[in-house]
Amino acid sequence: MAKIFAKKPLAILLGEANSTGHGTLKRTLGAGNLVALGVGAIIGAGLFVRTAAAAAQASGPGVTLAFVVAAIGCVFAGLCYAEFAAMIPIAGSAYTYAYTTMGEFVAWIIGWALIMEYALGAATVSIAWSEYLNKLLQVFGTEIPFAWCHAPAEGGIMNLPALLIIVALSLLLIKGTQESAMFNAVVVFLKVAIVLVFIAVGWQFVNPANHTPYLIPENAEPVKNAAGEIVREYTAWNKHGLGGVLGGAAIVFFAFIGFDAVSTAAQEAKNPKRDMPIGILGSLAVCTVLYILFGHVLTGVANWREFADPAKGGEASVTYAIKAHMPGYEWLGTAVTVAILLGFSSVILVMLMGQSRVFFSMAKDGLMPKAFSELHPKFNTPYKSNLALLVFVGAFAAFVPGSLAGDLTSFGTLLAFVLVSAGVWIMRRSDPAQPRPFRAPLSSPLFPFVPIMGIIVCLGMIVALDAFTLKVALGWMLLGFIVYFLYGQRNSKLQQGVVVVPTEMDEQAFIEPDKDNS
């Protein structure tokens, strides 16, 4: 049993990070590319959909505080990610970091959980992409036939647009990381521009009365629909007051998912020791400021109770607020739909990229089929991993309703954040002499504050998730345990003794920092 907690030697990881030639990913991404990747993965439908949902369900106008709480958890985790990514610039993100700090079994748990964030997330977002494409087409008087944009369980034949966007972006990723990054940068520029326009225009229509009271009171009246039926109550601890802020943070946390995907591209960064912290923390900072401003404007333009009405909240919340409270700016509703489509596109791209890099690392360790680690002879990308995701994620997108995903992506991400925060703390104690190009602030003796707060805040948001999501997530993780013991443990290169630990001289050579990149 002890073998399942065997750790991959850090010197081996550093040797892989410094290796070149065929079989290794090309370093083509600069700091700007990495920030754009982070913003591309973060700003998607979460901003446009989850803001109103959190306000209506738990936080009221205090959704801005919910964004702050979610961002604080992300900052603590982001600092830990940045330290790891600069120290171990290799594909795999949280999976790789756990392998060298907490052992193979914990690494597998993270890798399995990340499937919920990346693969399942990409499929779910592609289904929503299909829905918004239809909304945009309806503005121009046309639409995709129902049968070809809905899953069989919904009365359709297949969701063709969702499948096609998965195919197109998978092929782009196979073509090359640099090409994908350029496409992502253009998309990021356009969607951020639309968000800024909404904030600037909407600020003129903010009604201060909508921000009073700022938090939902404990005795708030339930919201009823037109038929007099109660659709929203606020008696639970996480539905009002400061508890509601935490409950809202668990809801809007989905809107922050993605910055950790930057770390999966560490092996493709030109100067990872400098660029990875900039990419991770820079994208997080940009999005946090935009989110707080967006939440302030949206709940100022329309009262938060309006969003509790299913006809006004949910996916149409921002468009509703524009049409109902911003006369003369109906065109902005169409622009928001375009921004959401662009946001979906970049989120899908980065999630597919992140998942393929996690599979790439797991396959090199023998925990996934070897094909996932094979690179294209011309493009030098993990094309078989991308093709496998094209098939499986595309099939999910085409034939499975998106409602099945729920908040599972948030659970997978939060679990990874908790374990990465713990991993940095463990590494500081077990290997304090290891060169760290970027160090999380508040060093010893106060250093544990950073990972401890990352663990506490993220665990708090996990607890605040609904019971159904937690039950499904537990079932998924139990399935992962079965897969590990039936396949992963038996094929692990570390378990088979294939991984050779370098001599002391070799290890010193591996961990010597690159002076040119310092």
Quick: pLDDT tens for 480-510.
999 999 999 999 988 887 654 443 333 333 3
Instruction: Give the chain's mean pLDDT.
Output: 82
Model confidence at 310, in pLDDT bands (50, 70, 90)? low
Q: What single DSSP character describes residue 231? A: E
| Strands 223-224 and 230-232, bridge-based pairing | antiparallel
Sign of the four-CA dihedral 301, 304, 306, 310: positive
Residue with tokens 């089929």: 369
- Name the phi and psi angles at 324, rounded to 5: -85, -30
Q: What single DSSP character describes residue 271? A: S
Quick: pLDDT tens for 288-309.
999 999 999 999 999 988 888 7
Is the pLDDT at 271 greater than 50? The verdict is: yes
The pLDDT of residue 510 is: 33
The CA-CA-CA angle for residues 39, 43, 48, to 5°, reads 165
The pLDDT of residue 76 is: 85
Task: Say how many C-beta atoms besides its own lie within 10 A of residue 137's C-beta.
Answer: 14
Calculate what percentage of the chain has a pLDDT beyond 70: 89
* SS3 annotation, 392-440: HHHHHHHHCCHHHCCCHHHHHHHHHHHHHHHHHHHHHHHCCCCCCCCCC
Is the pLDDT at 447 greater than 80? The verdict is: no
The pLDDT of residue 57 is: 86
Residue with tokens 């994620």: 393
The pLDDT of residue 313 is: 59
Most confident of 60-64, 68-72, 130-134: 60-64
- Name the phi and psi angles at 80, rounded to 5: -70, -45
Residues 6+ apart with CB under 8 A from 142: none
Q: 445: cis peptide before it, omega within 30°?
A: yes
Domain boundaries, the chain: 2-517
Quick: pLDDT tens for 200-255.
999 999 999 999 999 988 888 887 777 777 777 888 887 888 888 988 888 887 77
Q: Which CATH architecture has domain 2-517?
A: Up-down Bundle (1.20)
Most confident of 300-304, 340-344, 403-407, 434-438: 300-304
Residue 225's SS3 state is coil
Residue with tokens 């081996």: 12
Mean per-residue pLDDT, 366-384:
89
Task: Say how many C-beta atoms besides its own lie within 10 A of residue 378's C-beta.
Answer: 9
Q: What single DSSP character describes residue 270? A: S
Task: Say how many C-beta atoms besides its own lie within 10 A of residue 442's C-beta.
Answer: 14
Is the pLDDT at 361 greater than 80? The verdict is: yes
The pLDDT of residue 330 is: 85
Q: Which two tokens stand for residue 402?
A: 């998106």
Quick: pLDDT tens for 66-123.
999 888 878 888 888 888 888 887 767 788 888 888 899 999 998 998 888 788 888 8
Model confidence at 65, in pLDDT bands (50, 70, 90)? very high
